Chain A
Amino acid sequence: MSDHLDGNMLAGALGELFAVDLTTAVGRCASCGTSAVIAQAHVYPSGPGLVARCPACAEVVLRLVRGPDRAWLDLRGVTCLQLAVPPAAG
């Protein structure tokens, strides 16, 4: 049995860094090419940092470390993120 959480638990940590909710973005796994919403990633809340893995192939898609006054984000595990942007208001 896996012992991971869902990617939606990244929303708090990522919400400190970005004004947009990245957990609703779609990421394409750099290892296997599967596209999934970041909220569906398998997150392992390792003490030193957060590690999100592809729900299909389990390779790392995102890593986040939070220091007292800095954060480090590694997104090499996704080839890109697709974010919804509201159409310009009339």
Chain B
Amino acid sequence: MGIVSPGFSGRRRAGGENLPPGQYLVTDFPVLSAGPTPRVSTTAWGLRLTTETGQARSWDWAAFRALPAEDITVDLHCVTKWSKLGTHWRGVPVEALLDGVDTAADYVLARSYGGYTTNLPLADLLDGQAWVAFEYDREPLDPEHGGPARLLVPHLYLWKSAKWLQQIELTPTDEPGFWESLGYHNYGDPWREQRYWGD
């Protein structure tokens, strides 16, 4: 830890909230990206789901928006230590996309427009734990925050909630994604503070 800077407390709001270890509350919504913001119109947009046997299904925007969607309020925890509580989204539960899909795969690789990837166990995307979100705060999801649609998996660190979602790939083996291959924890549970390899 560095020397204490007299009188410095930073931008955080005071605690009292039930936060995962090492997290701080923020009031803004930081925008951070590994590359240029993809600008995908809803007319050009498509979401693809592929299985380990090569089956594929895909949705254009109209088909995606015809799927059952729900309003949710969730807490976000970024590995860079900021947390934002009570955020409002609207999205399609991931299980709706998987309905009727025949697979023995245990893992998922989420792929984004622009090349970003992140890996998760398939089980973490089921049972009301994950959505493909297309609205934030009752407005269409801004490209800066991952629109037209992003993955939202609030029980894991936010890097697992892939922005600009383009493909959900079911894989038989676990394939580390963009950050998981460079030091970040393969699973990423904020409540067990799983930030880096070996945590």
Contacts and interface: CB of A to CB of B under 8 A. Distances in A.
Given a CB threshold of 8 Å, the question of whether A touches B is answered with yes
Interface of A: 2-4, 44-49, 51, 53, 58, 60, 63, 65, 67-68, 70-72, 74
B78 A47 contact: yes
B97 to A, nearest CB: 26
Given A58-B35, A65-B182, A72-B182, 5 more contacts: A47-B30, A48-B79, A70-B196, A71-B183, A72-B183
Chain A interface helix/strand/loop/mixed: loop
B130 to A, nearest CB: 20
A44 B35 contact: yes
Question: What are the 5 tightest A-B residue pairs by CB atom distance, in nearest-first order?
Answer: A72-B183, A47-B32, A47-B80, A65-B183, A46-B34
Contact of A74 (B79, B80, B182, B195): B182
A83 B179 CA distance: 28
B195 A46 contact: no
Contacts of B115: 60
Contacts of A71: 183
Residue in B80, B182, B196 whose Cβ sees the most chain A Cβ within 10 Å: B182
Contacts of B35: 44, 51, 53, 58, 60
B33 interface: yes
18 contacts: A3-B36, A44-B35, A46-B34, A47-B30, A47-B32, A48-B32, A48-B79, A48-B179, A49-B182, A53-B35, A58-B35, A60-B115, A63-B182, A65-B179, A65-B183, A72-B182, A72-B183, A74-B181
Contacts, number: 53
Contact of A3 (B37, B80, B179, B195): B37
Interface string B186-199: 00000000011000
A54 to B, nearest CB: 11
B23 to A, nearest CB: 13
* Interface size of B as a range: 10 to 19
Contacts of A68: 196
Interface of B: 30, 32-37, 78-80, 115, 159, 179, 181-184, 195-196
Nearest to B199: A67
Given A49-B179, A65-B179, A70-B196, A44 B34 contact: yes
Residue in B35, B37, B115, B184 whose Cβ sees the most chain A Cβ within 10 Å: B35
Contacts of B181: 74
Residue in B34, B37, B181, B184 whose Cβ sees the most chain A Cβ within 10 Å: B34
